[in-house]
Amino acid sequence: MSTVLDAIVSGVLEDLQAREIPLKQLREQLATAPLVRNAYDALAKPGMQIIAEVKRSSPSKGALAAIGDPADLAERYESAGAAVISVLTEGRRFGGSAADLLAVRSAVTIPVLRKDFIVTEYQVIETRALGADLLLLIVAALDDSQLRDFQALGQELGLSVLVEVHDEAELDRAVALNAQIIGVNARNLKTLEIHEEAFARLLPLIPSDRIRVAESGISTREQVEAAERAGAKAILVGETLVRAGDPSLAISTLLGR
């Protein structure tokens, strides 16, 4: 039976086919990409860190915010203490674009995560060519060979890699991959359901020498504290920030600053 994730990936591949250029030409663009910023080090700094997301819409909630100027929003995130900016580049379900990433990357001095559904080698190279510093690999969307190859390619290009899981089986695969940044997504991308117990169940299972990230469904300081008790070093937050009248205040509230 087809899942929501299957439908998203299908659309991603169709859109990729429409914009794809020869791989040799894409690799040539790497020469003009901005220097990589170290996302691992940014997330490893003392204290709880936040990956603040530029996100217009989602398959589960529909339209969230217009975000006419993603660069301005990202600058506000950075000023409020975000460690990394996440930028959605998937267009059909999330309203994002490569242009958003380019605008944000040129406006901030902290690392930028390309938030998309990476299922081809081309997209890994494209991620670095666009200037991103952190690559997202979703275990549910990839087989072990793809995970291994895409992580190796990303690292070869200088990218840090965030490997995302949502259950024990996926976590075992991420750990076996020796992923250094592992995110637990409380939202099951196949059904879009939120499982609030996911952080408490899965974060403690991640080896303590990895950076643990709690993703999705976070809107209160209490939830952040619970994730931190479970072992989270960072949180990834989008909807709560883009819907807040004052995203800077929202970041300060979530981080207890």
What residues are annotated to the active site? 53, 55, 115, 164, 185, 215-216
Residue 143 CB coordination number (10 Å): 10
Report how far residue 146's alpha carbon sits from residue 137's, in angstroms, rounded to the nearest whole number: 10
Report how far residue 104's alpha carbon sits from residue 26's, in angstroms, rounded to the nearest whole number: 21
Rounded to 10°, the helix 70-79/247-255 angle is 40
The DSSP symbol for 66 reads -
Q: What is the DSSP string of 122-153?
A: HHHHHHHHTT-SEEEEEGGG--HHHHHHHHHH
Instruction: Please check whether residue 76 is in contact with residue 64, taking contact to mean a CB–CB distance below 8 angstroms.
Output: no
| Backbone angles phi and psi of 93, in degrees to 5 | -100, -25
Alpha helices of 108-220 — where are they, by DSSP H? 121-129, 144-156, 168-176, 198-202
Helix and strand element counts for the chain (H, E) = 12, 10
Instruction: Please check whether residue 176 is in contact with residue 206, taking contact to mean a CB–CB distance below 8 angstroms.
Output: no
Report how far residue 253's alpha carbon sits from residue 242's, in angstroms, rounded to the nearest whole number: 14
